[in-house]
Amino acid sequence: MADPVEEIVAPFPETVEEIREAGGEAFKFCYQCGKCDVVCPWNRVRRFSIRRIIAEASYGLTEIENDDVWRCTTCGTCPQQCPRGVKQVELGVAIRRVASKYDVFTASARPARAVRASLTIDGNPLNEPRARRADWAAGLDVKPFTEGMDLLYFVGCYFAYDPRLKKVAAATADILNRAGVSFGILGEKENCCGESIRKTGAEQLFRSLARENIKTFVDHGVRKILVSSPHCYHTLKNEYPEFMVNFEVVHISQLLLDLVRQGRLRFSGEVRKRVTYHDPCYLGRHNGVYDAPREVLAAIPGLELVEMASARQDSLCCGGGGGRIWMDTPRTERFSELRLDQARDAGAEILATACPYCITMFEDTRAGREDESLPPINDITELVKEAL
């Protein structure tokens, strides 16, 4: 009779190879130290083990029907603690590619599958018509991009369509005009950048969206791209070069700081509030942009900047990354609940951030709690505009 332990550890080579081909080869470096589980934000709200998922993948024992496959928010907390370079985010995405290949989606992940049709047809995940992508700019001094302008403002899906986030896009346009920046938008020619759908395993759809955007950029003579979303920033800056292109990509926080330093933005008003800044995962941990947003806020007259318990590289994820923005998460398991408590405990009168997913998650949590002690949410551009 075979040793039962030997039966458990005997690998399934076909499954191992399938995960490896999908981009998850780095799992072989894991020696199960458990540091990833210690820092994973999920373990603040429920039990979850990325270490176990890695161990199962190394033996081809991954259960793609398990909801845990879809739980990772790709926040980047565990890779920065890993002593072996396992690349947990890439492994998690690789497993989702396998699940997508076989059309296996758990109940909580099905909304992520549903958005694929909207992305394919209208270039956005919100089931909004492509023709209305520039409606947010109605009545504003915003022109179509033409070659020779200083930069293309790549608005992004949520800022273009979401009623709350349209205000951020409008504030951005107003600031750019006041600073004398020559910019334009693509309107209905702009597609979703594809970052989040790629993280759900839809690789071919991501590549289709990226190719369409790149062709549009090239056809219009785009060289420098401004984005408001860290997810757009990460993808255009770090993932689009996979297609042998290289555009200069700037996040709005970086541009605002440059404009302040150059004296092109002059504050005539004040924001007499105690403000705390939340570092979005894809701006902070994934791209190292920590100082620019804080320096912009610190330059606003009257504003007092305070830090939360978890800040900078230790910032607590809002819970919306990795496609989770579209998935069902019980209120008792939302990181955004903990984050708003941290902002309140820091004595903040405003919780500021620079990401559409973070704003969406925080606004939803705040509305559901109906707790007047929780601070309101603002994008940094809204606070800048208020002080101009």
HEC string for 105-137 = CCHHHHHHHHHHHHHHHHCCCCCCCHHHCCHHH
Q: What is the pLDDT of residues 289-311, one digit of tens each?
A: 999 999 999 999 999 999 999 99
Q: Is the pLDDT of residue 31 over 50?
A: yes
Integer CA distances (angstroms), 98 to 16, 37, 120, 160, 328, in order: 11, 23, 20, 32, 21
Three-state secondary structure call for residue 275: strand
Q: Is the CATH number 3.10.450 carried by domain 111-258?
A: no
| Fold entry, domain 4-104 | Fumarate Reductase Iron-sulfur Protein; Chain B, domain 2 (1.10.1060)
- CB contact set of 357 (below 8 Å; sequence gap of 6+): 158, 229, 231, 280, 318, 320, 321, 325
pLDDT at 25: 76
Segment (H or E) for 208: helix 203-219
Whole-prediction pTM value? 0.94
Please give the DSSP secondary-structure letter assigned to residue 281: T
d(CA 362, CA 333): 14
d(CA 183, CA 177): 8
Token output for 150? 């200083």
- CA-nearest of 321, 275, 335, 328 to 301 is 275
Q: Where in the chain is the domain with CATH 1.10.1060?
A: 4-104
pLDDT at 1: 41
Q: Where in the chain is the domain with CATH 3.40.50.10700?
A: 268-387
pLDDT band, very low/low/confident/very high, at 371 (cuts 50, 70, 90)? confident
d(CA 130, CA 87): 36
Token output for 185? 């938008």
- CA-nearest of 257, 343, 332, 264 to 296 is 257
Burial of 1 from C-beta contacts in 10 A (0-12 / 13-18 / 19+): exposed
Please count the other Cβ atoms lying within 10 Å of the Cβ belonging to residue 164: 15
d(CA 225, CA 239): 14
26-30, 49-53, 106-110, 358-362: least confidently modelled range: 26-30
Q: Which of 211-241 are b and which e, b meaning 16 or more Cβ less than 10 Å from the residue's Cβ? A: ebbbebbeebebeebbbbbbbbbbbbbeebe
Q: In this structure, which amino acid lies at residue 124? A: N
d(CA 106, CA 103): 10
Share of the chain above pLDDT 90, in %: 82
- CB contact set of 3 (below 8 Å; sequence gap of 6+): none
Q: Is the CATH number 3.40.1160.10 carried by domain 268-387?
A: no
d(CA 154, CA 193): 9
Three-state secondary structure call for residue 172: helix
- CB contact set of 336 (below 8 Å; sequence gap of 6+): 318, 319, 361, 362, 364, 365
Name residue, tokens 């039962």: 4
Q: What is the pLDDT of residues 174-195, one digit of tens each?
A: 999 999 999 999 999 999 999 9
DSSP for 13-55, written as a single string: HHHHHHHIIIIIGGGGG-----HHHHH-GGGGTS---HHHHHH
- CB contact set of 63 (below 8 Å; sequence gap of 6+): 56, 69
20-34, 128-142, 233-247: least confidently modelled range: 20-34
pLDDT at 14: 64
Q: Which of 352-382 are b and which e, b meaning 16 or more Cβ less than 10 Å from the residue's Cβ? A: bbbbbbbbbbbbebbeeeeeeebbebbbbbb
Please count the other Cβ atoms lying within 10 Å of the Cβ belonging to residue 333: 14
| Mean pLDDT taken over the chain | 93
Q: Is the pLDDT of residue 23 over 80?
A: no
